[in-house]
Amino acid sequence: MAFNITSSPHAHSRRSTSSLMRTVILCSSLGVAAQCYFFGWGVLIQVALCALLAVIAEAGVLLLRRRPLIPYLRDNTALLTGVLIGLAIPPLAPWWISVIGVFSAIIIAKHLYGGLGQNVFNPAMVAYVVLLISFPLQMTTWLPPSAISAQPVSLIDSLSAIFTGFTPDGFSVYQLRLGVDGVTMATPLDTLKTSLTTGHTTTEILSGPVFGTLAGLGWEWVNIGFLIGGLIMLKMRVIQWHIPAGMLGGLFVMSTVAFLISPDTTGSPLFHLFSGATMLGAFFIATDPVTASTTVKGRLIFGALIGVLVYLIRTFGGFPDGVAFAVLLANMCVPLIDYYTRPRTFGH
């Protein structure tokens, strides 16, 4: 029997990968519940479908690679990837969107690089970017919040729309996207970005029905849910504070400077912090230990880089929310960040 001995100190975390991933999933439940409350049963259906597909895809690849199924499936990493993909997919996106997204994450982004611990890019964000670029129409069919929806969507309606494209009453997904005023709804980030190009001011835009107190109607509560879940993970030491603080700080500084310069043509710092996937990205995506920076200074730089990129993509890019693109771009920079932020060797 051979033993590989590393340098001291030797400390056991008392936490397995399986328990850590399970804790992350449980801490995301507040955000999931808020998203389901405002955007319907389709959220839970997509999360459940993607989680199931992720486990199936993981098992299939493990069989092809002749790896033992139970130890790898029990680490819950595939399950967490499926949950994150399900949250990123619009509630009534067709079922095949979930299939393509999950297979892109598990097969290409994860196992093509060697499996857990070897992947360079965040698998869930790879799946989202692949879907957004390949199927922009299906990936932008978000429902209006239930409070301003012209057509209530039940569990049966959601299941039927996802797997057939129509509800039992014959309503299409496009018709379900109509608000009470008969106007097709878009996400708050998309609405703000599009309306600014038509000459409207930020004050005029934010008075619309799709916006709430802090940010978009519904989306602000979704972000608060993920923020609470993230703070619980920090309290439990499941994640460290450096990456979330760096990302939120970078986004806050950029949006504050822009808002002070031109408040009529940009969203407020609070709007950016509580819109889109900001809190989900800061606490549940960017903190992926495999694809993030490994040094203390590096994690702060990594997070700040994501925050700056999110603001730049939201403001000047072609997509309303830039969390996925920002995370992947930052993943590319991790080797360089780690190289220049390595701690000095003891005694040198």
pLDDT tens, position by position, 80-134 = 999 999 999 999 899 999 999 999 999 999 998 888 888 899 999 999 999 999 9
Domain-embedded: residue 253: yes
Q: Is residue 178 over pLDDT 70?
A: no
- The H or E element that residue 337 is part of is helix 323-340
C-alpha distance across the termini of the chain, in Å: 35
How many distinct structural domains can be found in the chain? 1
Is 46 among the domain residues?
A: no
> Which H/E stretch holds residue 157?
helix 155-164
| Domain presence at residue 318 | yes
**Domain membership flag for residue 286:** yes
Query: Is 298 within a domain?
Result: yes
CA–CA distance from 269 to each of 144, 176, 188, 248, 327 (Å)?
23, 31, 14, 10, 20
Q: Is residue 69 part of a domain?
A: no
- The arithmetic mean of pLDDT across residues 67-72, rounded, is 85
Give the integer Cα–Cα distance in Å for 87 and 242: 24
pLDDT at residue 180 is higher than 60: no
Q: What percent of the chain has pLDDT over 90?
A: 53
In angstroms, the CA 92 to CA 95 distance is: 9
Question: ∠ CA 36-27-337 to the nearest 5 degrees?
Answer: 110
Pairwise CA distance, residues 268 & 84, whole Å: 27
DSSP 120: S
Spatial distance between the Cα atoms of 323 and 338, rounded to a whole number of angstroms = 21
Residue 181 is predicted with a pLDDT of 44
Whole-angstrom Cα distance, residue 303 to residue 239? 13
CA distance 254 to 139: 27
Whether residue 172 has pLDDT greater than 50: yes
Kindly tell me if the per-residue pLDDT of 198 is higher than 90. no
- State the Cα–Cα distance between residues 250 and 253, nearest whole angstrom: 5
- Quick one: pLDDT at residue 183? 44
42-56, 180-194, 204-218 — which is least confidently predicted?
180-194
Mean pLDDT across 25-54: 94
Nearest to 189 by CA among 273, 82, 98: 273
Q: Is the pLDDT of residue 184 over 50?
A: no
Tell whether omega for the bond before 9 is within 30 degrees of 0, i.e. cis: yes
SS3 content of the chain, % helix, strand, coil (to 5): 60, 0, 35
- Mean pLDDT, the chain, as a whole number? 86
Residue 166, strand partner residues? 172
Predicted confidence band at 161 (pLDDT cuts at 50, 70, 90)? confident
Per-residue pLDDT band at 69 (split at 50, 70, 90): confident
User: Is 71 a member of any domain?
Assistant: no
Q: How much of the chain, in percent, has pLDDT values that exceed 70?
A: 89
Q: State which residues form the domain around 200.
A: 186-341
Residue 145 has pLDDT above 70, yes or no: yes
326 found inside a domain: yes
